[in-house]
Amino acid sequence: MAGDNFATAAAADTALLREYDLSDDDFQRIRRLVRERLGISLAESKRELVYGRLSRRLRALKLRDFGSYLQHVEADDAGELQHFCNAITTHLTSFFRESHHFDFLAEQLLPALERNNSRSRRMRFWSAGCSTGEEPYSIAMVLLENVRHLRGWDIRILATDIDTNVLSHARCGLYSGERLEKLDSRRLLRWFEPAQDQQHYTVRDELRQLISFKTLNLMDDWPMKGPIDVIFCRNVVIYFDREIQRRIVGRMAVLQRSDDHLILGHSESLLQVSSQYQLVGDTIHRRLAG
């Protein structure tokens, strides 16, 4: 009992020290908005993270409380809904993260696509939830290292994210030396140029020319029609509940043909989500017929 009283007192002290009060009603309102707009099921345990991220917006807008801020979001005053989405979403990424996926792309998928698409001379890739661009640029490097002989082919990478801030970073293609520390030195020399400050590097135009960066909320309408040969959707669906996972993966399946591939993150699975794909590797799935 004494421990419970201490915890209650500590929580009260923390609330007193806060710049803003995040009431239970406001937090539940935020959770509903996140579910409706982003499809993300926000756990109760994320309350402190939400406070930390959204309090910056209250400060920027010179608002006194979360209730006033949520009125701005719900009315989308001055595009505040986009700022809200940018603040809530998480972006952890790196070049060639989960490297076995890129090995599979180079060694198995690209040779198969070269054979199967020889008539259309077309390849399409989608990086869904591309964050600051490391994933689509990694895909582009693998493509140019392995299919440079396919002159005249129509090869494109679509890279999408809901967060306009990270997309601006991705389009810029400027990365600190620290972000590139684990990149193979030969790739660093081949695909990046030192920036003027000698502490950053920019991606070469050859990579940029393959990629189209677009804002996309997976909960909204999708403009692309397919077919898309390979979809990278890694560490994205883990934030959705099972119902929304089924909806998103089902829509991806419509964009793919038999034997096209969907690649998920290391902790993601299609078990009880979709029967339209067969697991053929470590979180690598092949689209089934029908």
Whether 43 maps to a domain, the answer reads: yes
- The per-residue pLDDT for 90 is 72
* CATH number of 10's domain: 1.10.155.10
If asked whether residues 64 and 17 sit together in one domain, one would say yes
- The per-residue pLDDT for 287 is 98
Low-confidence residues of the chain: pLDDT under 50: 1-16
Whether 93 maps to a domain, the answer reads: no
If asked whether residues 130 and 83 sit together in one domain, one would say no
- The per-residue pLDDT for 41 is 83
If asked whether residues 109 and 176 sit together in one domain, one would say yes
Whether 59 maps to a domain, the answer reads: yes
Q: Which residues pair with 123 in a beta bridge?
A: 155
Whether 94 maps to a domain, the answer reads: no
- The per-residue pLDDT for 11 is 42
* CATH number of 171's domain: 3.40.50.150
**Dihedrals φ, ψ of 264, to 5°?**
-105, 175
Q: Which of 65, 88, 111 is the last residue of a domain?
A: 88
- The per-residue pLDDT for 147 is 94
If asked whether residues 146 and 192 sit together in one domain, one would say yes
The residue type found at 173 is G
Cα separation of 30 and 51, whole Å?
10
Is 161 among the residues known to form the active site?
yes
Q: Which domain holds residue 225?
A: 99-287
If asked whether residues 157 and 182 sit together in one domain, one would say yes
For 72-103, what is each residue's pLDDT tens digit?
898 887 788 888 888 888 777 899 999 999 99
Whether 76 maps to a domain, the answer reads: yes
If asked whether residues 34 and 107 sit together in one domain, one would say no
Q: Which of 66, 88, 110 is the last residue of a domain?
A: 88
Q: Which of 88, 115, 148 is the last residue of a domain?
A: 88
- The per-residue pLDDT for 19 is 83
If asked whether residues 33 and 123 sit together in one domain, one would say no
If asked whether residues 130 and 76 sit together in one domain, one would say no
If asked whether residues 236 and 131 sit together in one domain, one would say yes
If asked whether residues 140 and 246 sit together in one domain, one would say yes
Whether 179 maps to a domain, the answer reads: yes
The model scores a pTM over 0.75:
yes
Whether 222 maps to a domain, the answer reads: yes
Give the gyration radius of the chain's Cα atoms: 22
Which one of 47, 53, 179, 187 is the catalytic residue? 53
Is 53 among the residues known to form the active site?
yes
Which one of 26, 161, 163, 260 is the catalytic residue? 161
Q: How many domains does the chain have?
A: 2
If asked whether residues 135 and 261 sit together in one domain, one would say yes
- The per-residue pLDDT for 17 is 55
If asked whether residues 121 and 251 sit together in one domain, one would say yes
